[in-house]
Structure 1
Amino acid sequence: MMFWVTLVLLLQTTFSLGLIFLRTHSAKKTLAKPGQGYESKLLQWLNKPQLAFPFGILKAGAVRSRLISHWGSKLTTYTNFKGTDGFETLRDDPREIKGIIEKLASFDNEDKLEISGDHHNKKTLYGFFHPYCNAFGGGEKVLWKAVETTLDHDLNNVAIVYTGDVEASPKQILDSVMLKFDYKLDTSRIVFIYLKKRWLVDSNTWKHFTLVGQAFGSVVLTIEAILKCPPDIWCDTMGYPFGYPWVAHLLRIPIVTYTHFPVISTDMLDKLQKNLTLKNRLKYYYWKLFMCYYKHVGTYVTIATTNSTWTNNHINKIWTKSNSSIIYPPCSTEKLVDNFTSIDHRSNVGVVLAQFRPEKRHDLIIKSYAEYLKNRNETNTDKLLTLRFIGSTRSQADKAYVLELKQQVIKLDIPIDNIEFIIDCSYTEVKEHLFNSTYGINGMWNEHFGIAVVEYIAAGLIALVHASAGPYLDIVDKDIGYFFVDPSDPDYNKERGEQFPTLDKLFELTETLDTDSKLTKSKLGEKKALDKFSDEKFDVSWTDIVLHGLEKKDQ
């Protein structure tokens, strides 16, 4: 009963407020346009910036957008980093203020100002909604490559990046992008808009009914972004679809989505149906109702893209009108291929490249490794496989998770020299570890794509991956790697157990491979990575599907 009351109240409150607003206002005029005569107010304030900013909460964002798209020269000035109204940076930049005053003063009436504003040197604002843009996982790699491609496509394109990383300055974030991903961005056309309500989409905020709670939180976060700086095009590169109706109704702009995984899938519903206890029956109806609304929000999408075959199949089942396309993530394979002709320099090391999060199943890999050590022939020490875990941590919870893994190693009596943990290292260091190792391991069940797996094969590593989703359907085949399953898998059954070995058996298999077999698999994997998963391939796909797609719809 508590669940239904909570759900009804949340949905009723959200939609009631939305309907009242939409019925009593011209929403687009209110939020996306600064209002008639805004130029005079702005000019007066610019001449005396010590005065209070003359625009309220419903207009301040529209004024910021207009400054970025029409009048501003130093676009990064319009960030709201550490700001109350978001214009402190502009107040401290006399040269930028002088430039705007000169542009505004060069016209002699408001009509001409409005004409100039609509047609003269207008920039297009792409709003990239990615509240965790400073996390530097696979999703963030997609974000920053999409930003780079969008900016390179047209000099009048500007990237508005909506982030909840309120403690990280724009410079710190962009420096990290260069360090982690080695992307060279035109930073003069990137504006960070900081969101204060990110805690509402954190799963830890919603201990119960997490799906509904995060959906509600994403709506609030979306509205916050719109109020602070309405864009011309909404690009959700993280996966918060429940704000789409608000973007569509309030701004009337195109919505582009890049989905890494569905919020809820038919697989989740099917699993519950197989065991319909009273608790599961209630959860089934909860998820079914949630799925209905998830289907609805998809009707607002202009261009839908996904990262893999598995995700695309699910999205096309759910968003039946979206006609979603696959754009494989940018995996920087060009930077990883070294055209090696020998693997003699490589150590007998298995690399696990993944953010330190429980769903990556580091614990399963450690447990399987302990089983491998227990069963192996100890006299064969020259072929002993060792492990190297490499990944980033986003929070204190992630750091605590690393400590738990280290405790697990001790508890299982694994020699300390056999497993190494490397945390938050640079992209250059990651490449060095890949080039000096032989195997790449991925333990996640239903990894929706698996950028790290592509990086493995591009760097010449032999892939040992779970037989599900992206690694199984899109990346690895029998010529370049090996698959495993585990009895702990949610979909494990006798048939899959007979078809695929467990990970500890693959560890044993590594000791039987000769040098020629390793080299053959390495070279075939390298070629596949270049042909299918390069940054250049992402550039072409993003440009053709998204940027050209938007241009066609605008005609």
Structure 2
Amino acid sequence: MKKGIIIASIIVVITPIVKVIFTVKKCRRQRKKAIAFFHPYTNTDGGGERVLWCSVKGIQELSPDLDCVVYTGDPDASPETLTARAVDRFGVTLPYPPKVVHLYKRKWIDDTTYPRFTLIGRCLGSVYLSWEAFCKLVPIYYFDTSGHAFTFPIAKLFGCKVICYIHYPTITLDMLSGGKAPTPLMYDNDPEVAESIMPSRYKVLYYTFLSWLYGKVGSCADVAMVNSSWTRAHINKLWRIPNRTFRVYPPCDTTELQELPLERSAVPPKIISVAPFRPEKAHNLKLEAFALVIKSLDLSLPMPILQFVGSCQNEAEERRLQKLKDRAIELKVDDHVEFYKNVARNEVVQFLGGAIAGLHAMTDEHFGISIVEYMAAGAIPIAHNSAGPKTDIISTEDGIQVGYLARYVEEYADAMLQVIWMPENERLEMAAAARQRATRFSAQRFYRHYKAVVQRVLCHSKD
């Protein structure tokens, strides 16, 4: 009887292992001459999606013999719709449509799936999702463009070379010292945990364990690209592969924007905010700062207009937008605030061409593509005094200030007032310097640096 139980237990344990080994061997034999991009959400309108399409284009130009495949969880995605989206939303024209592999287990990387332990839940969920991806198609090269480092060991298991572009570290060094979640999560942290000492201590242990895991899986990358000096510092500390980690600034749409005239009407002065209606973008801070500006101005003068331009991808973001509109009414500035949702790229360009200043307020923004777009368009940037904007973007050009850094409501209000009151010749001088600095982050520079890094893996594999 006992012997039978032992044999049955061994069979129960061994059977799934054998199935995994058999599946991996079978899929590896069917490996395609392709590079597959792991990007489960291809409808976000953010900088991450821009990097995806520029990355696809770069590979198609560099190695046209490789099939480009996109792993996506969007059910309506097709080669034609994704190609059209790349052009319509980001102005990226692909040489030919990418192939599409649909993923149906995307919910396992959704924050809402994990009310508690969201971070580790999403990490493990990405492993499950990548397993689905590789069971459908195994490429020679696996390219993660959405920050799912826990998929790297699975890609290695299936025999892939791993390339990644990191926008924001899953674990940051701040989390290890104070238990603070990364920026996208800090707005949703349980207040009981944030205010209690003991849970916070446990949270530091939790993050320390995760950081160790994150370092192990991240080190599986054959080559890693990061979008800023701030991101590189974190990744080098955690992954410890500095010889395989390269800073490649994200592609910013500067060519079209730089054609906009720097001289523009300032009656009324228009201030713009281009950002998805998500909590980390801190729209309320911008609105409250603008309310202080309105209170500070003489009512006999033309009042400035604040334009919120952004995307809403789900009901939560729709509710957030409505709350923002309600807040504008409470602050009595609704007559001076305009909201534009899910507008086409050409309309965004028109808005940028009429603005004298652009607002950015995300804490620890890894880079800040919107800031560069403000600069290229001739709108004076007012950005959060942290991370990418502070270390890489807002500086001087030929000794001329190119924008403002702020952290608190009052600082944002002061910066907006400075731009509004600035003499036209001084504004034009600053706008010209900002436009010149924006060329450092152009798509052309991205493609040049990106191809140089990717070739390290492509050439190595051919040897």
Q: TM-score, length-normalised on structure 2?
A: 0.88
Q: Which residue matches 1:30? A: 26
Q: Distance in 1 between matches of 2:389 and 2:449?
A: 20
Mapping of 1:170-249 within 5 angstroms? 170-188=79-97, 190-249=98-157
Mapping of 1:343-422 within 5 angstroms? 343-344=264-265, 348-379=269-300, 381-382=301-302, 384-414=303-333, 416-422=334-340
* CA positional deviation for 1:143: 0.3
Q: Which residue matches 2:186? A: none
Q: Distance in 2 between matches of 1:502 and 1:476?
A: 16
Q: Which residue matches 2:37? A: 128
Q: Distance in 1 between matches of 2:420 and 2:110?
A: 43
Tell me if 1:261 matches 2:168: yes
Long gaps (5+) in structure 1: 1-15, 35-61, 66-123, 488-500
Q: Which residue matches 1:541? A: 449
Q: Distance in 2 between matches of 1:137 and 1:32?
A: 33
Q: Which residue matches 1:85? A: none
Q: Which residue matches 1:469? A: 387
Q: Which residue matches 1:460? A: 378
Tell me if 1:20 matches 2:17: yes
Q: Which residue matches 1:425? A: 343
| 8 Å Cα contact 2:376/2:434 also seen in 1 | yes
Deviation digits for residues 103-124 of structure 1 (CA, Å, limit 9, x no counterpart): xxxxxxxxxxxxxxxxxxxxx3
The code of the aligned residue for 1:318 comes to L
SS in 1 for 2:404: strand
Mapping of 1:282-321 within 5 angstroms? 282-321=202-241
Q: Which residue matches 2:249? A: 328
The code of the aligned residue for 1:267 comes to D
Deviation digits for residues 79-114 of structure 1 (CA, Å, limit 9, x no counterpart): xxxxxxxxxxxxxxxxxxxxxxxxxxxxxxxxxxxx
SS in 2 for 1:546: helix
The code of the aligned residue for 1:516 comes to N
The code of the aligned residue for 1:259 comes to I
Q: Distance in 2 between matches of 1:138 and 1:361?
A: 17
Q: Distance in 2 between matches of 1:148 and 1:136?
A: 17
Q: Distance in 1 between matches of 2:71 and 2:267?
A: 42
| 8 Å Cα contact 1:160/1:191 also seen in 2 | yes
Tell me if 1:517 matches 2:435: no
For residue 438 of structure 2, the aligned residue among 513, 529, 542 is 529
Mapping of 1:73-222 within 5 angstroms? 124-188=33-97, 190-222=98-130
Cα pair distance change 1:393/1:341, threshold 3 Å: closer
SS in 1 for 2:179: helix
Tell me if 1:480 matches 2:402: yes
Q: Distance in 1 between matches of 2:435 and 2:420?
A: 22
The code of the aligned residue for 1:277 comes to I
SS in 1 for 2:219: helix
* CA positional deviation for 1:344: 4.4
Deviation digits for residues 201-251 of structure 1 (CA, Å, limit 9, x no counterpart): 0101111000111011100100000001111100000001111111112x2
Cα pair distance change 1:365/1:345, threshold 3 Å: closer
Coordinate RMSD, CA, aligned? 2.2
Please say which of residues 319-328 and 190-199 is displaced more in the overlay.
319-328
Q: Distance in 1 between matches of 2:170 and 2:134?
A: 22
SS in 2 for 1:377: coil
Deviation digits for residues 287-329 of structure 1 (CA, Å, limit 9, x no counterpart): 1111111111012110011111111110011011253111111
Deviation digits for residues 21-52 of structure 1 (CA, Å, limit 9, x no counterpart): 49x73665321214xxxxxxxxxxxxxxxxxx
SS in 2 for 1:521: helix
SS in 2 for 1:220: helix
Deviation digits for residues 500-545 of structure 1 (CA, Å, limit 9, x no counterpart): x621222222232100110001111111112x11111111011101
SS in 2 for 1:136: coil
Cα pair distance change 1:293/1:209, threshold 3 Å: same
Q: TM-score, length-normalised on structure 1?
A: 0.74
Q: Distance in 2 between matches of 1:352 and 1:481?
A: 15
* CA positional deviation for 1:170: 3.6
Identity of aligned residues (%): 31
Please say which of residues 152-161 and 139-148 is displaced more in the overlay.
152-161
* CA positional deviation for 1:187: 3.1
Q: Distance in 2 between matches of 1:554 and 1:169?
A: 31
Q: Distance in 1 between matches of 2:160 and 2:85?
A: 31
Cα pair distance change 1:346/1:29, threshold 3 Å: farther
* CA positional deviation for 1:468: 0.7
Q: Distance in 2 between matches of 1:510 and 1:202?
A: 40
Q: Distance in 2 between matches of 1:17 and 1:161?
A: 34
| 8 Å Cα contact 1:331/1:533 also seen in 2 | yes
Deviation digits for residues 151-201 of structure 1 (CA, Å, limit 9, x no counterpart): 01122021110001113444333222211111111334x101110011110
| 8 Å Cα contact 2:367/2:388 also seen in 1 | yes
The code of the aligned residue for 1:254 comes to K
Q: Distance in 2 between matches of 1:341 and 1:177?
A: 27
Please say which of residues 226-235 and 337-346 is displaced more in the overlay.
337-346
Q: Which has the larger radius of gyration?
A: 1
